[in-house]
């Protein structure tokens, strides 16, 4: 797990009146803030800490995000003081960042695979930049018109090129040797100097990219709300992931069904989120506590990862039982299937693309919950999960 920082301190002057009272990262895209879309996209990479570097309207960020835990990450807002630009903003991270880290712009979304991105070795270089095509960004002056040599070293070009900065960086901690507590532009004052010294490398990606610092791009994203939503496969647990042997109260009773381990890897490779949605009334019945249930899930995920590197992104479970002797487990009935509460929570947390997502379960309650959210449902067939997934035409 590594740390990431997001630059959210800018005034968004290119958007004029739109950002007079609201910072760019907090602009609404449908029902969500743009920054929430960025964070939802980051959750699957299990970042340890996410720092928000704040200046303009900083109190809003602190109120919404400071010390907030989302999934496996904790968000910390950093007050950069007086506005110091994208370079000076990093000064407050000097004592907090202990190793290589990810830096992102708070007004761009670039849907690259962060895990693959950071596998690139920096060696003696100070940083790596994710690059995208420059088709419609004529007024972008920040690390524009660049070329890559055969060793992927970035060079500045006097002629127009089709490559540009995608707003995601992987930096060595040594970048802080160039950071001072005064106004500076990360791109123009720091990175360009390192490019001249041939100390910055680049990696080109074809993935979706948008910069909402332009009015037309902001308008386009608001009209195309599904552009960065995440396609997801929802799976029931008992009877789909593992053999249904009754209540699984310890890991000795947990047995993977045929083809499940390969199926999860298959979905990971297809860039689907994999989320388990499971009723676990055994908790409400006091047959197992939540701590032990979490241990079962941790062992399940570890066995998957050790087998072939496959990952389950999240698990939502309903511990409720209407006759429970423990009061809190009688509540929140909307979470228990056939009610859609767990699915709704997952959709909101992960910015799920409902149209291109699927639920596979083995009970009518799974189907009813799925139907209430408009998610396409398939009953688990009496074949291995990997075979069934390969036969489903919608999975691409």
As a whole number of Å, the CA-based R_g of the chain is 23
- DSSP tag of 288: S
User: Which of 296, 291, 323 minimizes the C-alpha distance to 312?
Assistant: 296
Q: Mention every residue, 6+ apart, whose C-beta is less than 8 A from residue 32.
A: 40, 351
Check: CB of residue 88 under 8 Å from CB of residue 184: yes
Q: Which residues pair with 357 in a beta bridge?
A: none
Alpha carbons 238 and 318: distance in angstroms, whole number:
13
Choose the catalytic residue: 3, 211, 236, 335: 236
36 is known as an active-site residue? no
Which element (helix H / strand E) includes 308? helix 290-308
Choose the catalytic residue: 3, 36, 211, 238: 238
Q: Mention every residue, 6+ apart, whose C-beta is less than 8 A from residue 308.
A: 261, 262, 265
Which element (helix H / strand E) includes 39? helix 34-42
- If you write DSSP's letter for every residue of 41-95 in order, what string do you get? HHGGG--SEEEEEE-TTHHHHHHHHTTEEETTEEEEEEE-SS--HHHHGGGGGTT
Residue that the structure tokens 């929802």 belong to: 234
User: Which of 103, 117, 101 minimizes the C-alpha distance to 204?
Assistant: 117
Q: Which two tokens stand for residue 186?
A: 């990360």
- If you write DSSP's letter for every residue of 242-311 in order, what string do you get? B---S---SGGG--BPTTHHHHHHHHHHTT-EEEEEEE-HHHHTTSS-HHHHHHHHHHHHHHHHHHHS--
353 is known as an active-site residue? no
Q: Which positions are annotated as active-site residues?
A: 236, 238
């Amino acid at each position: 797990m590594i740390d990431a920082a997001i630059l959210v301190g800018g005034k968004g002057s290119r958007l004029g009146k739109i950002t007079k009272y609201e910072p760019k990262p907090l602009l609404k895209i449908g029902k969500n803030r743009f920054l929430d879309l960025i964070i939802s996209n980051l959750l699957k990479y299990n970042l340890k800490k996410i720092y928000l570097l704040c200046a303009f309207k900083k109190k809003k960020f602190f109120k919404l995000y400071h010390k907030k835990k989302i999934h496996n990450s904790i968000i910390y807002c950093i007050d950069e003081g007086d506005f110091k630009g994208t370079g000076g903003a990093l000064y407050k991270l000097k004592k907090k960042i202990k190793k290589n880290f990810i830096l992102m712009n708070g007004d761009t979304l670039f849907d690259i695979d962060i895990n693959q991105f950071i596998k690139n070795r920096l060696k003696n270089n100070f940083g790596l930049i994710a690059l995208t095509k420059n088709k419609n960004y004529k007024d972008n002056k920040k690390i524009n018109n660049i070329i890559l040599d055969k060793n992927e070293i970035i060079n500045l070009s006097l002629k127009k090129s089709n490559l540009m900065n995608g707003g995601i960086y992987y930096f060595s901690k040594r970048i802080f040797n160039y950071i001072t507590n005064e106004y500076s532009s990360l791109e123009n004052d720091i990175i360009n100097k390192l490019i001249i010294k041939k100390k910055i490398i680049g990696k080109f990606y074809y993935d979706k990219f948008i910069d909402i610092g332009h009015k037309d791009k902001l308008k386009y994203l608001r009209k195309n709300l599904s552009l960065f939503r995440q396609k997801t496969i929802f799976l029931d647990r008992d009877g789909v992931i593992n053999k249904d042997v009754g209540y699984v109260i310890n890991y000795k009773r947990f047995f993977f069904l045929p083809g499940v381990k390969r199926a999860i890897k298959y979905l990971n490779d297809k860039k689907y989120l994999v989320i388990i949605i499971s009723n676990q009334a055994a908790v409400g019945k006091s047959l197992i506590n939540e701590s032990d249930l979490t241990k079962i899930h941790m062992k399940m995920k570890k066995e998957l990862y050790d087998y072939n590197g496959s990952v389950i992104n999240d698990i939502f479970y309903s511990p409720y039982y209407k006759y429970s002797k423990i009061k809190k487990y009688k509540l929140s009935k909307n979470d228990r299937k056939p009610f859609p509460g767990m699915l709704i929570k997952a959709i909101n947390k992960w910015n799920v693309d409902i149209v291109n997502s699927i639920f596979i379960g083995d009970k009518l309650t799974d189907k009813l919950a799925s139907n209430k959210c408009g998610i396409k449902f398939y009953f688990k067939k009496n074949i291995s999960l990997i075979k069934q997934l390969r036969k489903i035409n919608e999975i691409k």
